Amino acid sequence: MDLRQGIGLRKLGKTAEEFQQDLLSNLYYRRGTTVESASARDAYETLSQTVRDRLAERRARTAAAHYASNPRWVYYLSAEYLLGAQLEQNLLYSGTGEIAAEAVKALGFSIEDLEDLDIEPGLGNGGLGRLAACLVDSMATRDIPAVGYGIRYDLGIFRQIITENGQTELPDDWAFQGNPWEFPAPDDRQTVGFYGHTEPVPGSQTRKVWVPGEIVLGEPSHMLVPGYGTETVNIVRLWSAKASEASFDLSRFSAGQYAEAVQEAVRAENISKVLYPDDSTELGRELRLKQQYFLVSCSLRDIIRRFRLRNEGWDGFAEKTVIQLNDTHPTIAIAELMRLLVDEYELEWDRAWEITRKTFAYTCHTLLPEALETWPVHLFERLLPRHLEIIYLINMLFLREVEARFPGDDDRLRRMSIIGEEPRMVRMAHLAVVGTEAVNGVAELHSKLLRETVLDDFAELWPAKFQNVTNGISPRRFVRIANPRLSDLITEGLGTDTWIRDLERLEGLERLADDASFRERWQAIKRANKVDLAAGDPDSLTDVMIKRFHEYKRQQLKVLHVITLYHRIRQDPGRDRVPRTVLFAGKAAPAYHAAKDIIRLIATVAATIEKDPVVSPYLKVVFPSNYNVTLAEKIIPAADLSEQISLAGKEASGTGNMKLALNGAITIGTMDGANIEIRARVGEENFFLFGLDAYEAANARINGYFPHRYYEHDPELRAALDALGSGAFGESGQRVASSLMSWDEYLTLADFRSYLDCQEQVEQAWHDRERWTRMSILNTAHCGFFSSDRTIADYAARIWRVAPVPVPHDD
């Protein structure tokens, strides 16, 4: 009996009866309850286990296939994963949706009841974390041997409540009632050091001994990541910080000092307590750097352990391993791998550096200067003294290389140094570029601007290192699961459901855009999705802006549009108009006051319009609370118009734009991020473009930007800003207006008129419903490129150079 091949396992049932038997045995033996007394939660946990068992069996076969082939592995390091709800996904990926639905009926529940209990691990802030989730999905779907590493935060992204007073934040104890999708693996625990000092090693120039001052344990657990339409099941491995047993002070406890007795343990476990709800700016907090090092230290030791299972020595390491850094958060891995190789495994510096550089690749996710991570040198010195020494040495050797290429160019050396001066800071993006083999941006424009601006010196030094890999999204989660009606129609229209794995097949819908009966059904589905969402009149134009709140994304521009519509309706109430439902959703970082003002302003505007009998028949503003993946899956299928209105040159890629276009929403957007690529594919006649481009925007200040001029010359803009300034929409509105009038960092006023004119074109197109529906179908048809399966194929071919390892079927 070959246990490694999974032979000898009792086959898990494939019929509804067999599934039901497995469900019952899980209910009795694992959950310890009975059919008569099973609560909805008992049923949910038991169903999840029964589905999970089927994936676990595939996982065992995947591990066996990987072990046998000893392949090159991809390790994806990310401080964030926004995985979304698990049950529906795992039902789909295990092909058990129908038999499970039947089986749970026997327990007296419906699948829908149980889906309402499903957890959403909110281990990320927004786009970056959701990208990580889409990429691990697609790695499994493409049979790429991969592990995603992350942190198992006890508290995920805060739960948001929207009231007329704006945003309130509540803690998100996402696994409070347990997480049935997760396997703890305490045997793979790691030990992580912090603080302390370093000591020289006699006879060695480069080796040191680091004596940490604090030791914390990292305990992993993993969640299964199944591929769709394939046998592969990969994992995401998440680390929890645990205090060592010795940290409990029994003598203090005995003396009644209860708080003091657990003080050290609490401090250790705080490392994985909470996800930083901050999207782009750095808090400069020690705990955040601790989190980053904790993730990196645990993951690298685990990667080395896994390498050692099948390989000896270090010669093959870079050949068998590629570690992708998702933004700069895990960049300290470069110094940590050097430390492990030099100090612990006693490799020569040059050899260690060659291995390190070949092992890592870095994805940059921003263009905002304030989002480029830097850490004070003094903090590094205290928290990670050995790593700072290593970074100094890396930097010295690197600057020598620059000096050799550009002799005497001191200014260049200063610009490129990993250490910034006054104040002295460690520049993580520079370390990430220096210590990796490939650097990529996440959309064509973004990669180009990285080369031309943010990282221009590095691109000049190493042009071949810089690449573009345009982001993508999972068609399973964001079309098949989110929009079952549209998925069925697409499958019917194409005569096959292979598009779910091969999204470019959506091109086949192009000819159906000319078919009146297909258009009618397409339109009816959009309407039915709007009825389900129940956000407003399903016959109104559903205009959605769903994303994190940030001034560069320009929700404030959308608000100025809404206020202008409000004024127009009040001034000419008799005119025939396009009724609109404007839907905002998104969170603001709790300390980002300007963004929270915009949220509160929207809530005030919504309430004002609601109360106005003249305006409310034509215009409604809704702001559902707590934007997350689950809510995104509800809103996106119901959207007619997708607002992607960031100032050009600021949004790296965007992925919300892709989700919406694939679900047949038409974009109104600027020439920013992946909007440009969406427009190029769907055709300019099927995209509403407005605003400055990135070069015009970059030049605007240089040529003298005075927001007041726009205020003076545009009566409608003036009316909107005057209304805000008057306090008619509260103090938040006054602050928003004053910020726009005085500086307007993101050129909102410069793009206002162009945006409003473009919205008029939107309304004209909407009047001709046949034309609109055609545009909608063509958006879906031409956006197959934006599948994360294609993104992964790009990474695999151009950056990782990995081959798929197919997992044999079980029969």
Ligand X SMILES: *Cc1c(COP(=O)(O)O)cnc(C)c1O
Torsion, Cα 182 633 686 365, to 10 degrees, reads: -40
Task: Give the tokens for residue 652.
Answer: 């790296």
- Give yes or no: 66 in active site: no
Report the candidate in 654, 431, 645, 642 with the shortest Cα–Cα distance to residue 541: 642
Q: Mind spelling out the 3-state secondary structure of 566-634? A: HHHHHHCCCCCCCCEEEEEECCCCCCCHHHHHHHHHHHHHHHHHHHCCCCCCCEEEECCCCCCHHHHHH
User: Would you say 6 or 148 has its CB closer to ligand X?
Assistant: 148
- Which range binds ligand X by CB under 6 A, 33-41, 502-510, 512-520, 625-633? 625-633
Q: Which is nearer to ligand X, 159 or 548 (CB)?
A: 548
Q: Which residue, 644 or 776, has its beta carbon nearer to ligand X?
A: 644
Per CB under 6 A, the segment of 183-191, 410-418, 648-656, 692-700 that binds ligand X is 648-656
Minimum Å distance from CB 602 to ligand X? 16
Q: How many helices (H) and strands (E) does the chain have?
A: 33, 25
Shortest Cβ distance from residue 474 to ligand X (Å)? 10
Q: How many residues does the chain have?
A: 811
- Residue 233 beta carbon to ligand X: minimum distance, rounded to whole angstroms: 23
Q: How far apart are CB 655 and ligand X at their closest, in Å?
A: 4
Tell me if 148 contacts ligand X by CB under 6 A: no
Residues 787, 790, 795, 800, CA torsion sign: positive
Task: Report in angstroms how near the CB of residue 279 gets to ligand X at its nearest.
Answer: 9
Start-end of H helices in 173-285? 250-254, 258-269
Assigned token pair, 739: 């910020």
**Span from 101-109, 124-132, 309-317, 792-800 in contact with ligand X (CB under 6 A):** 124-132
Smallest distance, ligand X to C-beta of residue 128, A: 8
CA distance 470 to 676: 11
Contact 188, 617 (CB under 8 A): no
Catalytic-residue membership of 548: yes
List 301, 365, 596, 681, catalytic entry: 365
We find the least distance from the C-beta atom of residue 677 to ligand X, in angstroms, to be 13
Contacting ligand X within 657-686 (CB under 6 A):
659
Distances in Å between the Cα of 391 and the Cα atoms of 282, 334, 377, 402, 432 are 20, 9, 11, 16, 11
Helix, strand or coil, per DSSP, at residue 283? coil
In the complex, least distance from residue 720 CB atom to ligand X, rounded to whole angstroms: 24
Output the CA torsion 609→614→616→621 (10° steps). Answer: -30
Our finding on whether 655 is near ligand X (CB under 6 A) is yes
Least distance from ligand X to the Cβ atom of residue 274, Å: 18
Question: Is residue 651 within 8 Å of 694, Cβ to Cβ?
Answer: no
Q: 327: which DSSP letter?
A: S
Question: Does 126 participate in binding ligand X (rule CB under 6 A)?
Answer: yes
Residue 465 designated active-site: no
Gap between the Cα atoms of 604 and 165, Å rounded: 8
Q: Which of 28, 33, 30 is nearest to 49 (CA)?
A: 30
635 binds ligand X, rule: CB under 6 A: no
Question: Among the options 301, 553, 681, 782, which is catalytic?
Answer: 553
Give the residue from 144, 146, 52, 49 showing the smallest Cα distance to 93: 52
Closest distance between ligand X and the C-beta of residue 481, in Å? Answer: 13
Paired with 508 in beta bridges are none
CA pair distance 602, 588, nearest whole angstrom = 13
The residue number whose beta carbon is nearest to ligand X equals 656
Taking the least distance from each CB to ligand X, the nearer of 82 and 434 is 82
Of the residues 324, 628, 663, 686, which one makes contact with ligand X according to CB under 6 A: 628
Stretch that binds ligand X, among 266-274, 277-285, 516-524, 622-630 (CB under 6 A): 622-630
Helix (H, G, I), strand (E, B) or coil at 290: helix
Q: Total residues at the site for ligand X (CB under 6 A)?
A: 14
Q: Which stretch binds ligand X (CB under 6 A): 12-20, 244-252, 351-359, 652-660?
A: 652-660
Instruction: Specify the residue, 637 or 654, whose C-beta has the smaller distance to ligand X.
Output: 654
Is-contact 280 368, C-beta < 8 A? yes
- Residues 206 and 668: their CA atoms lie apart, in Å, by 56
Q: Report the residue number, 122 or 330, with the smaller CB distance to ligand X.
A: 122
Residue 659 annotated among the catalytic residues of the structure: yes
Question: Under the criterion CB under 6 A, does residue 629 sit at the interface with ligand X?
Answer: yes
Q: Which of 6, 13, 277, 656 binds ligand X (CB under 6 A)?
A: 656
Position 472 contacts ligand X (CB under 6 A): no
Residue 274 CA to residue 568 CA, distance in Å, equals 46
The rounded distance, in Å, linking the Cα atoms of 382 and 505 is 55
Closer to ligand X by CB, 126 or 385: give it: 126
Q: Does residue 526 have an active-site annotation?
A: no
CB 88 within 8 A of CB 44: no
Q: Taking CB under 6 A as the rule, does residue 654 contact ligand X?
A: yes
Of the listed 58, 222, 547, 587, which one is catalytic?
Answer: 547
Q: Does 637 bind ligand X (CB under 6 A)?
A: no
Evaluate the CA torsion angle 61, 65, 67, 71 in order and state its sign. negative
The residue from 130, 430, 558, 659 that is catalytic is 659
DSSP H or E run through 781? helix 769-782
Stretch that binds ligand X, among 69-77, 123-131, 145-153, 597-605 (CB under 6 A): 123-131
Among 6, 13, 121, 127, binds ligand X (CB under 6 A): 127
Nearer to ligand X, 547 or 620 (CB): 547
| Site residues (CB under 6 A) for ligand X, limited to 722-741 | none
550 is catalytic: no
Of 426 and 559, the one with the shorter C-beta distance to ligand X is 559
Our CB check for ligand X shows the closer of 130 and 596 to be: 130
Nearest residue (CB) to ligand X, 13 versus 586 = 586
What is the rounded distance in angstroms from the CA atom of residue 258 to the CA atom of residue 275? 27
Q: Are strands 466-468 and 580-585 parallel, antiparallel or unpaired?
A: unpaired
Residues 166-195 within binding reach of ligand X (CB under 6 A): none
Q: Which residue has the tokens 């933004």?
A: 327
Residue 365 as a binder of ligand X (CB under 6 A): the answer is: no
Task: Please give the Cα distance from 751 to 745 (Å, whole number).
Answer: 12
Q: Does 85 bind ligand X (CB under 6 A)?
A: no
Contacts of ligand X in 526-555 (CB under 6 A): 547-548
Active-site residue, selected from the candidate residues 655, 670, 748, 791? 655
| Ranges within 294-353 binding ligand X (CB under 6 A) | none
**3-class SS at 437?**
coil
Instruction: Please check whether residue 9 is in contact with residue 57, taking contact to mean a CB–CB distance below 8 angstroms.
Output: yes
788 counts as binding ligand X under rule CB under 6 A: no
- Interface region with ligand X, contact rule CB under 6 A, candidates 22-30, 218-226, 367-375, 650-658: 650-658
- The pair of three-digit structure tokens given for residue 762, joined into one six-digit string: 């939107």
Decide if residue 130 touches ligand X (CB under 6 A): yes
Where does this chain touch ligand X (CB under 6 A) — which range of 99-107, 174-182, 273-281, 649-657? 649-657
Q: How far is CA 612 from the centre of its chain?
A: 39
Cα separation, 672 vs 655, in Å, equals: 12
Least CB distance to ligand X at residue 79 (A): 15
Q: Does 632 bind ligand X (CB under 6 A)?
A: yes
> What's the rounded Cα separation, in Å, for the pair 173 and 176?
5
Closest to ligand X by CB, 388 vs 546, is 546
| Dist. CA 243–CA 146, nearest whole Å | 29
Nearest-approach distance from CB 651 to ligand X, in angstroms: 7
Nearer to ligand X, 61 or 548 (CB): 548
Count of other CB atoms within 10 angstroms of residue 463: 9
Residues with catalytic function: 365, 547-548, 553, 655, 659
Binding region for ligand X (CB under 6 A): 82, 126-127, 130, 547-548, 627-629, 632, 654-656, 659
